[in-house]
Amino acid sequence: MTDLGTRGALPGSAALRRAAPALAGYAAVRALGLLALAVWSAARDKSAYTLLTARWDALWYTRVAELGYGYEVRLPHGDVHSDLAFFPLLPWLERLLHAVTPLSYAAAGLVVSLVASLAAAWGIFAVADLRYGRRAGVCAVLLWAVLPVGVVQSMAYSESLFTALAAWSLYAVLTGRWVSTGVLAALAGLTRPVGLAVVAAVWTAGALSFGGHRSAELVESARMEVRAPRPSPHPLTQRERTIRGAHRTRRALGLLLAPLGTAGYVLWVGHRTGRGPLGYLDVQAGWRNGFDGGYAFALFIMDKFTSIPSAAAGLALIAGVALLLLLYAVCLRQRQPLPLLVYTGAVLALALCASSYFGSKPRLLLPAFPLLFPLALTLARWRAPRSALVVTGLAVASALYGAWWLNGSGPP
């Protein structure tokens, strides 16, 4: 493998210094969001801490951390909401942090999320920096921070943890660190069902590599198209054959490790429910959640046009989906590395084509950070005062929206 120096290295002091502006900017944006939430909540006589740690998914994760799996709610119309729908890595970390600190399970979940959000910001910067350079990397992180539902990044939810693991797994595969790639992908698979998107990206990279492309060329594909290796003019030496064999072994190990998180949990749920590989699908069906190619979501949007007051919401939903697809088309046109395209496409498909919980779709799209790269490139080309003004305006809007949203319907 090629030594990439600081920009291709795994996390270290030099890499941290390079990412420092992005992390400082991210922390400032999120601090503004939390401040707005605290002020808004106090004005409504609510607890910002409770809103961050005791809503929807956060309650389920805390219960799993404290009591383990086995809790379910049977609704009057027959649906069964089982905690087996929630993947285990976040509650495992909550339990661990609770065991070694005085923190409650809920507080531990919040700390995990806050730390993971910084790790996610660093990972997003690392991938964008590798592809487009430092300034674009900073802009990508800031754009991720100012997303309208960015407050979820600071909640005791699993989106930040998953995004951190996914971003670093993608960075590792782009830089040819196959074992790290596999371990991180497996952990992502223990965090959310969308870990399948990371596995798809890793296996795509592996297919390219086994097809005759060197790992170093996956890194080069972060700046240009993947090229076929040049034939060596001389026979390989014994040392070169040994190095190449070791690399193949690491690559194979990484590809084998990648799906173990998702597969392991799904098989465990199947064993626990007595339904085999279909057990997890049964659990999701109890939540009325599944994959229908977007049919139910389309009906949900069309239903908005049955009355004039809700038609604006329907138009906004159509515009939002169109924007996502447009950004993905731009990513294709800009020839992002294939693993990134596969990952983003899979996240989009799994989020938009799920058959239930339509209000959750914005937060389910948070891990699709490569969609922000075209916008980050544009922002990076502007003069610094103009970029700062735009980011500041978006940060204020995001903070106010997050405070209003969390004090209202919140993220389902």
What is the pLDDT at residue 212?
Answer: 54
**Structure-token match 């502006």, residue found:** 21
**Domain ranges (residues) in the chain:** 24-227+245-406
CA-to-CA separations, 198 to 357, 363, 412, in angstroms, rounded:
23, 17, 24
What is the mean pLDDT of the segment spanning 211-218? 49
DSSP helix/strand/coil, 16? helix
The stretches of 77-104 forming alpha helices (DSSP H) are 89-100
pLDDT at 215 over 50: no
What confidence tens digit (pLDDT) does each residue in 133-191 have? Answer: 999 999 999 999 999 999 999 999 999 999 999 999 999 999 989 999 999 999 999 99
What is the pLDDT at residue 214?
Answer: 47
Consecutive H or E run containing 82: strand 80-82
What is the mean pLDDT of the segment spanning 343-367? 89
Consecutive H or E run containing 66: helix 57-67
Residues 6+ apart with CB under 8 A from 362: 148, 149, 411
Tokens coding 320: 């939002």
What is the pLDDT at residue 229?
Answer: 47
Phi/psi at 82 (5° precision): -105, 145
pLDDT at 228 over 50: no
Q: Rounded to an integer, what distance in angstroms lies between the CA atom of residue 125 and that of residue 372?
A: 11
What confidence tens digit (pLDDT) does each residue in 357-392 have? Answer: 777 888 999 999 999 999 999 999 999 999 999 999
CB 258 within 8 A of CB 199: yes
Q: What is the 8-class DSSP label of residue 228?
A: P
